[in-house]
């Protein structure tokens, strides 16, 4: 049986943005269990500090605005100084604004794109050279089903997540020769603070009619890092089957419609 081209994780570091809570916190926990030292990076200082402390001595919290180049440099420096050469970068930080093409303000559209797309690009831009110097690595970009299909009323979010999907493929082409894999993850509705106000009925037409759990997304990320050694530029979908199609009767019932 051929040897798998996996990463050596022990004695190496990872950075997870948006790591203070929700999906990011679950990913940080999974990576710590894989043997990595993890920097939990977020704007939420109190929650981030608590999350990192709960993960033990192989995790630290660092404040990070993902649109800040100098902030990124400090976080990457701290990751390698505390835990060893960078092995994994997870771009999970994201914001959601409710607003369509007409109603969303220019300022908010730019903010969403800056955080969700530019922030991920900046992390890749600054982190790739470190991964290249270390001989291998994995970058995981947390996109969304909104990066695979359209949704009305969240124009900036959809644009940013489609952009992140494309950026993933461009980076995979550029970095594969250096042994660096780049993949995107596309969650559907996941039970996190971001979706706290969502109507639970939006999942009624899915084959699996429920919200997903952060731990389920984290397990997918763990698979990409540890097992998906021949995958790059790939899209990993975790959405309860939502993008497979919607069951018409259930969807209509959820919206109070009559067939």
Report residue 229 as tokens: 């050694």
> Annotated catalytic residue: which of 72, 83, 109, 157?
157
Dig out the tokens for 206 from the structure.
């899915």
> Cα dist. 251→184, 186, 190, 210, 248 in Å?
28, 21, 18, 13, 5
State both tokens at 18.
């948006």
- Burial (Cβ within 10 Å: 0-12, 13-18, ≥19) of residue 136: middle
Strand bridging mode 37-42 / 13-17: parallel
Query: Annotated catalytic, 151?
Result: no
SS3 per-residue string spanning 158-177: HHHHHHHHHHHHHHHHHHHH
- Report the catalytic residues: 157
């Amino acid at each position: 049986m051929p040897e798998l081209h996996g990463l050596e994780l022990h004695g190496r570091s990872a950075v997870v943005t948006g790591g203070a809570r929700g999906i990011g916190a679950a990913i940080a926990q999974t990576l710590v269990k894989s043997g990595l030292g993890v920097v939990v990076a977020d704007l939420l200082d109190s929650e981030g500090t608590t999350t990192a402390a709960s993960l033990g001595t192989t995790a630290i919290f660092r404040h990070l605005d993902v649109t800040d180049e100098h902030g990124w440099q400090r976080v990457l420096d701290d990751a390698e100084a505390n835990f060893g050469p960078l092995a994994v970068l997870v771009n999970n930080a994201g914001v959601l604004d409710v607003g369509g093409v007409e109603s969303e303000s220019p300022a908010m559209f730019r903010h969403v794109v800056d955080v969700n797309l530019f922030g991920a690009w900046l992390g890749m831009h600054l982190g790739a050279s470190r991964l290249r110097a270390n001989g291998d690595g994995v970058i995981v970009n947390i996109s969304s089903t909104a990066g695979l299909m359209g949704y009305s009323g969240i124009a900036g979010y959809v644009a940013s997540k489609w952009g992140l999907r494309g950026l993933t493929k461009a980076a995979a082409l550029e970095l594969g020769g250096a042994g660096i894999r780049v993949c995107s993850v596309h969650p559907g509705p996941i039970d996190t603070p971001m979706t706290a106000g969502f109507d639970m009925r939006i999942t009624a037409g899915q084959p699996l009619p429920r919200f997903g759990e952060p731990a389920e997304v984290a397990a997918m990320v763990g698979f990409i890092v540890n097992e998906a050694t021949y995958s790059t530029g790939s899209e990993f979908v975790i959405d309860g089957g939502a993008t497979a199609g919607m069951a018409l009767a259930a969807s209509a019932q959820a919206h109070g419609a009559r067939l």
